Amino acid sequence: MAASITHQDWSDKTVLIAEDVNDNFLFLKTYLRKTKINVLWAKDGQEAIDICLKNNDIDIVLMDIRMPNVDGYEATSEIKKTKPKLPVIAQTAYALNSDYQRVFDSGCDDYITKPILGASLLDKMAVFL
């Protein structure tokens, strides 16, 4: 059983949220605030790649799959080339079996479907943190 959000203290951890929709990012940031985790934001896949390559303090990535410029599949694949142990959790609104397989084929360690339920997200993150 996962720890309650009131007992999660990830103040020594950093999450990169790769999300192009402002409202989705704000939801995640607001929900995660209770854990005290440090939050970084990438607005597209290329920015996610760049931030991961430059920042060794990132402990986990929440990767939106459908983003402009570089999608989450390609971004994850590129990130995993240089940081294979960095956990990446895909966020997707598309629940097709082929999408799930592609998520794992690109290197993601887990996935969560949108709309995201905060407690489920914390449970998934806790596995890696």
Number of domains the chain is built from: 1
In a domain, 5, yes or no: no
Q: Is the dihedral of CA 68, 71, 74, 78 positive or negative?
A: positive
Answer whether residue 1 is part of any domain: no
Q: What are phi and psi of 43, to 5 degrees?
A: -90, -5
Range of the domain at 114: 11-128
pLDDT at 106: 94
Give pLDDT tens digits for 41-53.
999 999 999 999 9
Instruction: Mark out the alpha helices in 1-129 (DSSP H runs).
Output: 22-32, 45-54, 72-82, 97-105, 118-128
| Banded pLDDT at 35 (limits 50, 70, 90) | very high
In a domain, 36, yes or no: yes
| 3 within domain boundaries | no
Count the neighbouring beta carbons within 10 Å of the beta carbon of residue 107: 20
Rounded Cα–Cα distance for residues 76 and 111 (Å): 12
Please compute, for residue 9, the number of CA atoms within 13 A of its CA located in the half-sphere on the CB side: 1
Amino acid sitting at position 15: V
Q: Is residue 2 part of a domain?
A: no
* Model pLDDT, residue 53: 96
The domain that holds 55 is classified in CATH as: 3.40.50.2300
Give me 83's structure tokens: 């940081």
Q: What is the mean pLDDT of residues 13-37?
A: 95
Name beta bridge partners: 110: 89
**Tens digits of per-residue pLDDT, 64-104?**
999 999 999 999 999 999 999 999 999 987 666 667 788 89
pTM attached to this predicted model: 0.92
Facing residues of 59 across strands? none
